[in-house]
Amino acid sequence: MRIFVTGTRGIPDIPGGVEKHCQELYPLIVAHGHEVILATRSPYVVQKYPSWNGVQLVHLNAPRKKSLEAIIHTFLAVLKARFMGVDLIHIHAIGPGLMVPLARLLGLRVVITNHGPDYNRAKWGNLAKKILRLGEFVGMKFANEIIVISRVIEDIITKRCGRTSHLIYNGVPIPEKSSNTDFLESVGIVPGKYLFTAARFVPEKGLHDLLAAFQEIQGDLQLVIAGDADHETDYSRKLKKTAALDKRVILTGYITGESLNQVFSHARLFVLPSYHEGLPIALLEAMSYELQVLVSDIPANKEVALDNDRFFSCGDVRDLAKKIDRLIDIKLSDKEQRLLRSGIIEKYNWPKIAEQTVAVYKKALAE
């Protein structure tokens, strides 16, 4: 099969959950003997490789404006896919889903992955939320086949669009922990003495709650936040100013590779205070590092099999601070660590996910 992929900013090592999903998935599909062509958004690509790990890369321009870039880029990608005569186009996310009817009109078979109801994100205004809802509706109505990454999303599609879908979870590779600490030392992080989170600087990630809760934590514990804003906003600027007031808070910016490996490997507790998620890859990564985790009790997070004491009431700063204070000195037993890792291998396994995705492609082409 020749598969064209769009709806992502690109690969490799471009920040974002959809981007990480595509980076892990498509080299495995290439290894199954299929041809994969992925459209990147040029403003996000530092080095314009012609291919990466067997995935062909097509670099298409897009305005770096959050309200326009996804839809314009997907429009150009659909035209490119039609010109290249591919067997199938795989569109990621509901905003780009607006282009599914166009792709069908041009004779393309379409698979769409719904990564979550993006219209619930606080960063969008009322008009943008309506457009995203429309993208979800027409994308799910007109696609040949639909993939969802959680049962929460599956229920939304059934109720709102009257369609069945294929539940294929996000995945995470089992990492080799780093014993190195040179990156940590370079930015002032003390190994084993910090809370860690990784997120974009947008309201729905709840980082403002984490900063507020951290102020109630006494002692020399540090808070390390990996991430930044894709588009600088009043919220992201205020977040950075708040963080700068406490010398115990360290903002690393976007990090990948060995730097990110070190931060995960030496953290004491991973915290995810989100108000909205599809199925959080950052949480799965923390679990793969056998970390103690604390997450908000939103439906997407509760779909991950965790004990009740790993959840706090979403938006409740006092409850978050209390749970951090209680969990920070508790170390997972060897048995708990083995259970975490075996659960990841069984349920969030990328090779298995690649096989499931190829099966959906074949079904779309057989219709």
In this predicted model, what pLDDT tens digit does every residue of 138-169 receive, in sequence order?
Answer: 999 999 999 999 888 999 899 988 899 999 99
Please state which CATH number belongs to domain 182-346: 3.40.50.2000
Q: Could you check whether 2-171+349-366 and 182-346 share the same CATH topology?
A: yes
Mean pLDDT of 50-73: 90
In this predicted model, what pLDDT tens digit does every residue of 305-329 receive, in sequence order?
Answer: 788 888 999 999 999 999 999 998 8
Mean pLDDT of 235-239: 95
Tell me the pTM.
Answer: 0.83
Q: Are 120 and 276 in contact, with CB atoms under 8 Å apart? A: yes
Give the residue from 43, 88, 47, 49 showing the smallest Cα distance to 68.
43
Distance CA 173, CA 234 (A): 35
Place of tokens 């931060």: 263
pLDDT at 122: 67
In this predicted model, what pLDDT tens digit does every residue of 79-124 receive, in sequence order?
Answer: 999 999 999 999 999 999 999 999 999 999 999 999 987 777 766 7
The class of domain 2-171+349-366 in CATH terms is alpha beta
> What is 19-75 written as a DSSP string?
HHHHHHHHHHHHHTT-EEEEEEEGGG-SS--SEETTEEEEEE---S-TTTHHHHHHH
Which tokens hold the place of 151? Answer: 């049962």
* Distances from the Cα of 353 to the Cα of 24, 49, 83, 167, 319, angstroms: 10, 26, 29, 10, 36
Q: Are 17 and 278 in contact, with CB atoms under 8 Å apart? A: yes
Place of tokens 């290439």: 30
pLDDT at 119: 72
Mean confidence (pLDDT) of the chain: 92
Which tokens hold the place of 203? Answer: 């309201």
In the structure, what pLDDT confidence band is assigned to residue 230 with cuts at 50, 70 and 90? confident
In this predicted model, what pLDDT tens digit does every residue of 341-357 receive, in sequence order?
Answer: 777 877 889 999 999 99
Which tokens hold the place of 302? Answer: 């509760």
Q: Are 272 and 296 in contact, with CB atoms under 8 Å apart? A: yes
In this predicted model, what pLDDT tens digit does every residue of 252-308 receive, in sequence order?
Answer: 999 989 999 999 999 999 999 999 887 888 999 998 998 999 999 998 898 887 888
340 pLDDT above the threshold of 80: no
What are the residue ranges spanned by the domains of the chain? 2-171+349-366, 182-346
pLDDT at 21: 94
| Residue 273 buriedness (CB in 10 A; 0-12 / 13-18 / 19+) | buried
State what percent of residues in the chain have pLDDT above 90. Answer: 68
Residue 341 vs residue 220, higher pLDDT: 220
How many Å is the Cα radius of gyration of the chain? 20
Mean pLDDT of 37-58: 94
